[in-house]
Amino acid sequence: MQTSRRMGNMGESIIASFLRRKGYAVSQWGTGSEGATDIKASRGDKSVLVQVRTSYFPAEPDSAPREETNRVLLRAAWIGAEAWQANLQVFRDGTLVPPIQWRRVL
């Protein structure tokens, strides 16, 4: 599990940095649940809640189960944010393998 946690931390860090470069303030990340991470970020009057899915290259990130996606939608609605999913691949050293695949969760 340590490898999965390390991989997840890499993905979370990459997405948080990406959002900061786009002018977002990252105010919260992590759900408290093992293996589940959401990043809350805001810019002006726009708030987003991003579910991060990370895998080591060449594997593709796993799809989020529908129940997990529903929980993201509920958390986003609770805080008045748009729900997004970011899928990304990283090398073992933490380097991003472009591109980040973004999907609005509806």
Domains, the chain, ranges and CATH? Answer: 2-104 (3.40.1350.10)
- Give me the chain's average pLDDT, please: 89
CB 39, CB 15: distance < 8 Å: yes
Q: β-strands 46-56, 82-90: how paired?
A: parallel
* pLDDT tens-place string over residues 87-98: 999 999 999 999
Give the integer Cα–Cα distance in Å for 10 and 89: 10
Q: β-strands 96-104, 82-90: how paired?
A: antiparallel
Percentage of the chain exceeding pLDDT 70: 90
pLDDT above 60: residue 2: no
Per-residue pLDDT at 51: 92
Per-residue pLDDT at 50: 95
Per-residue pLDDT at 34: 54
CB 49, CB 82: distance < 8 Å: yes
Q: Stretch 20-29: mean pLDDT, rounded?
A: 90
Q: Which residues are bridge partners to 87 per DSSP?
A: 53, 101
* pLDDT tens-place string over residues 33-71: 555 568 999 999 999 999 999 999 999 988 888 888 898
